[in-house]
Amino acid sequence: MGWLRLFFLHPVSLYQGTAFPFALLFNCLCSTDSFPTRARHLFLLAGGGALALAAMGSFAVLVFIPALGTVVLIYSLGPQEVHRWAFLFQMSWQTLCHLGLHYTEYYLQEPPSTRFCITLSSLMLLTQRVTSLSLDICEGKVEAASRDIRSRSSLSEHLCRALPYFSYLLFFPGLLGGPLCSFQRFQACVQGFSSVGPRYSFWAFTWKGLQILGLECLMVVMRWVVSAGAGLADCRQLQCIYVMWSTAGLFKLTYYSHWLLDDSLLCAAGFGSEFGESPGEEGYLPDADIWMLETTHRISLFTRKWNQSTARWLRRLIFQQGRAWPLLQTFAFSAWWHGLHPGQVFGFLCWAVMVKADYLIHTFANLFIRSWPMRLLYRTLTWAHTQLIIAYIMLAVEGRSLSSLWLLCNSYNSVFPMVYCILLFLLAKRKHKVN
């Protein structure tokens, strides 16, 4: 089942690629004075609707309905109530859709349609924008809409006031992928275009294009390596470690390529990182920091850098709000957000334990390892161990099903997280005695 994510990411990349000319067109039109703000919102909204219909077909309704429901909630509730109800509504709707996937995969034993998988991915991104917007309203960062729906204003006036919300929730550069863009940044970018010219850099695009090309070439090699070798069901003893590492490597390359493409699309539309930000505005954060992800020897740092905008969103939505066990709450919610497949529940809870162990292990090491040869040896060993633990978690999450999880847990690969679990137990016990 882990290959399902790889299969549907390529159609998503195809649709993202077809959106590039429209993103550049939007950027160029915004550099003229004859393209007012309302027209810009309509362009982004119409592009999002067209892209949703092209990529999802009739399943696009599953994205349109919660977007409409969110705007109704924003206009119906007070600022302090919006976030709670928007969160419950969006997560309930997304969970129902994920249950449809469970029914298809586990009860009917049929492969789900690619369009439905794309819809679920888009719904997860919509959940990010809905909760980010509702939190901004609750915290006073965004001015709440008027609650007086029954006022004498005409329907067209109400729709005009709601247009920025619809445009933000369904704008085409962020519909199928891309780093989370806050509503503040979205508004600043839409309203802040000037006549100095389109806001994109040719050299930045060229560099990202070369990176994507290089990643695609590596993916071809890794795909051949994975397909030519044994799987977890056929591997023997230490060979299973190589199978896990190569399969996880293919997953990571796919995500890196997809994230770079998403980032390029946002930059092409004028929402990228190379442009300035307004005071108090949440900064742009690209999802891929490949060098840091591949060189870090700390699982906690890998966690913060993996899909960075999502990590920041989870920290704000769950971790900072949690009073008891915020780390566990964050990873448990992440499993819920991803669909609550057995492998995902196990993988994210295992990830939480590994992060907790990482903090204690490195705190202890920094106190007792002084010489640079020992520090070099320590960093080398912990780097290898970190990469193997991440590969283990990735195969659990991407495998999803109980059968895939059983094969993974019964392989030699389970030694790596078990080592950290033992160290967590011993160091936590030592810390308790010291306290």
pLDDT recorded at residue 145: 65
What proportion of the chain, given as a percentage, has pLDDT over 90?
A: 60
> Which is catalytic among the residues 338, 341, 362, 385?
338
pLDDT recorded at residue 199: 59
pLDDT tens, residue by residue, 175-230: 998 899 999 999 988 887 654 445 566 777 788 889 999 999 999 999 988 888 77
Q: What is the mean pLDDT of residues 117-121?
A: 95
Burial (0-12, 13-18, 19+ Cβ within 10 Å), 86? buried
pLDDT recorded at residue 93: 97
3-state secondary structure of 342: helix
pLDDT recorded at residue 368: 86
Centre a 10 Å sphere on the Cβ of residue 393 and count the other Cβ atoms it contains: 24
pLDDT at 324 over 80: yes
297 is catalytic: no
pLDDT at 270 over 90: no
> Which is catalytic among the residues 98, 258, 307, 341?
307
Instruction: Give the list of residues 6+ apart from residue 277 with CB closer than 8 angstroms, or none.
Output: 185, 188, 283, 284
Residue with the larger pLDDT of the pair 27 and 406? 406
pLDDT recorded at residue 1: 40
Q: What is the mean pLDDT of residues 394-415?
A: 93
Q: How far apart are CA 293 and CA 303, in angstroms?
A: 9
Q: How far apart are CA 345 and CA 405, in angstroms?
A: 11
Given CA atoms 204, 207, 210, 211 in this order, what sign does their dihedral have?
A: negative
Written as six digits, the tokens of 278 are: 């307004």
- Rounded to 10 deg, the angle between the 20-30 and 239-269 helix axes is 30
Written as six digits, the tokens of 155 are: 């329907």
Residue 407 · residue 260 · CB < 8 Å: no
Give, rounded to a whole angstrom, the gap between the first and last alpha carbons of the chain.
Answer: 46
pLDDT at 232 over 80: yes
Instruction: Give the list of residues 6+ apart from residue 271 with CB closer than 8 angstroms, or none.
Output: 173, 174, 181, 185, 186, 189, 284
338 is catalytic: yes
Residue with the larger pLDDT of the pair 255 and 159? 255
pLDDT recorded at residue 152: 55
Q: How far apart are CA 4 and CA 411, in angstroms?
A: 22
pLDDT recorded at residue 434: 59
pLDDT tens, residue by residue, 336-366: 999 999 999 999 999 999 999 999 999 998 8
pLDDT at 244 over 60: yes
pLDDT tens, residue by residue, 145-161: 655 555 556 677 778 88
pLDDT tens, residue by residue, 38-89: 999 999 999 999 999 999 999 999 999 999 999 999 988 888 899 999 999 9
pLDDT recorded at residue 238: 86
pLDDT at 8 over 60: no
Tell me the backbone φ, ψ of residue 277, rounded to 5 degrees. Answer: -125, 150
pLDDT recorded at residue 349: 97
| Confidence tier at 17 by pLDDT (50, 70, 90) | confident
Tell me the backbone φ, ψ of residue 318, rounded to 5 degrees. Answer: -115, -55
Place of tokens 């810009």: 40
pLDDT at 3 over 70: no
